[in-house]
Amino acid sequence: MTVQFPADFIFGAATASYQIEGAVAEDGRTPSIWDTYSHTPGKVQQGQNGDVACDHYHRYGEDIALMKQLGLDSYRLSLAWPRIKPDDGPVNAAGLAFYDKLVDELLAAGIDPAVTLYHWDLPQTLEDKGGWRVRDTAERFAEYSAVAAEHLGDRVKKWITLNEPFCSSILGYSEGVHAPGAQEGEGALKAAHHLMLGHGLATQRIRSVVPDAQVGITLNLASVQQVSDSPADAEAARRNLLIGNLIFTDPVLAGKYPEHAREVWAPITDFSFIQDGDLETAHQPLDFLGVNFYFPSRPKAVAHDEPDPAKRVASDLGFESVIHDGEYLTEMGWPVDASAFTDLLTWLGDTYGDAVPPIYITENGIACPDVVGADGRVDDQDRIRYVSAHLKAVKDAMDKGVDVRGYYVWSLMDNFEWARGYQPRFGVVHVDYDTLKRTPKASFDWYRGVIQSHEITAG
């Protein structure tokens, strides 16, 4: 079956600064929370870190040539805050100069840059002052965003404030599996709130300096499937939806917090960190919503301790995700279900109606074993199958009336996969971490064909 995308549908690829750049101490860059976290023994698999990563900081020219060969309409990159304002101090011209060169070369190659301001590399100095737990970080983020927009806004028109605030708050401050590695209940909720506030403040600042900017936020949203009719599993599904989606979508799209949020976090009694006007600030008119999707969520209730704000939020939630016997799992251990992607996209409209702006899929992809053959090629048929099925799922949602304008595959190239280190490979370009040699995979050639024809043949 052939699936056709509209002529103006945008095909892109995405990366993030700390995952590819390397050059962590060059041209004035100072440490981010991910430098600290990855250099803390026991945090990242095999003790790996982003010191060198793909060395994109020095090899960006070669990488843009690959993007051009691929035929990308758009490239989603992120800026490193600690390059632009090292230690969140004065503006660093050398840091901005790197992004100038990158943006200019992208435009020269006919590729539209889509820039994420925060893909998790908070300056460590700000973490030392409380990080996202404190309100001031939202203000500092807005200031840094204004600097970036003032400098690049003549050429960059697509701006994404935050990438996946769920990960920055819940994984970083509650589960401790991402930087800064905290395991707190209350701290994570404060972080989530201050991220929402920072998103709103940054959006206002970008608009004031780049009037023709398109501004959005990228959320990783859960496509929640209730696993049984039992009241416990129904409650698990409700909580998964709450923490995975509603505490972010409600402020951004509806200017409120979900009513049952306080009930779930009942032991927290002091909500004074939520000040009058904050939700109005978080609720800015947006030009687009970025959606990242990888796997379905199947929450099953498990026994859990009563909520305690001094402990992790996640342990209070009392659910774990069901994996079916013998089902295919990606290298990340994630199940695959493309129809859950369609369900998620239609859920947004069902829940928020006209308040949902046009959508870009800002990330979707798969980590596969990716064996390099004797001929040096990587025949990643499982990636082609996955991306093809998920593109079809996006088109199914479009056919049901969801306004999706584009799709960015994660990722352009293999890179530092956070706490999992370099083992999971998500790229359509293979990276040899010993030589840093780039080799396009079979999926690269396949995706180039999709971009050219705007068509996929789905099984």
Q: Which residues bind ligand FCB (CB under 6 A)?
A: 16, 19, 163-164, 167, 220, 292, 363, 410, 417-418, 426
Q: For residue 122, what are its two tokens?
A: 């908070």
Q: Minimum distance between the CB of residue 415 and ligand FCB, rounded to whole angstroms? A: 8
Catalytically annotated residue among 21, 105, 363, 417: 363
| Cβ-contact 133, 192 below 8 angstroms | no
| Cβ-contact 403, 387 below 8 angstroms | no
Residue from 227, 222, 223 nearest 340 by CA: 223
Q: Which residues pair with 118 in a beta bridge?
A: 162
DSSP structure string for 286-335: -SEEEEE--S-B-EEE---PPP-TTS-SHHHH-EEE---TT--B-TTS-B
Helices (H), 161-254: 165-166, 172-173, 186-209, 231-241, 247-249
C-alpha distance across the termini of the chain, in Å: 6
Using the minimum distance from each CB to ligand FCB, give the nearer residue, 72 or 134.
72
DSSP state of 42: T
| Cβ-contact 197, 267 below 8 angstroms | no
Q: For residue 350, what are its two tokens?
A: 């069902």
Using the minimum distance from each CB to ligand FCB, give the nearer residue, 163 or 284.
163
Using the minimum distance from each CB to ligand FCB, give the nearer residue, 35 or 363.
363
Using the minimum distance from each CB to ligand FCB, give the nearer residue, 301 or 345.
345
C-beta nearest to ligand FCB: residue: 16
Q: Minimum distance between the CB of residue 275 and ligand FCB, rounded to whole angstroms? A: 29
Using the minimum distance from each CB to ligand FCB, give the nearer residue, 227 or 394.
394
Give the CA dihedral 383, 386, 389, 391, nearest 10 degrees. -70
Q: Minimum distance between the CB of residue 15 and ligand FCB, rounded to whole angstroms? A: 8
Using the minimum distance from each CB to ligand FCB, give the nearer residue, 301 or 314.
314
Q: Minimum distance between the CB of residue 407 and ligand FCB, rounded to whole angstroms? A: 15
| Cβ-contact 120, 36 below 8 angstroms | no
Residue from 222, 32, 31 nearest 132 by CA: 32
Residue length, the chain?
459
Q: Minimum distance between the CB of residue 20 and ligand FCB, rounded to whole angstroms? A: 10
164 noted as active-site residue = yes
Q: Minimum distance between the CB of residue 418 and ligand FCB, rounded to whole angstroms? A: 6
Q: Minimum distance between the CB of residue 6 and ligand FCB, rounded to whole angstroms? A: 26
Using the minimum distance from each CB to ligand FCB, give the nearer residue, 192 or 264.
192
DSSP state of 230: S
Catalytically annotated residue among 127, 164, 184, 186: 164
Residue from 253, 244, 245 nearest 352 by CA: 253
Question: Is residue 61 classed as helix, strand or coil in its secondary structure?
Answer: helix
Element (H, E) at 182: none
Q: Minimum distance between the CB of residue 18 and ligand FCB, rounded to whole angstroms? A: 9
Using the minimum distance from each CB to ligand FCB, give the nearer residue, 164 or 380.
164
Q: What are phi and psi of 320, to 5 degrees?
A: -135, 160
What positions carry a catalytic annotation? Answer: 164, 363
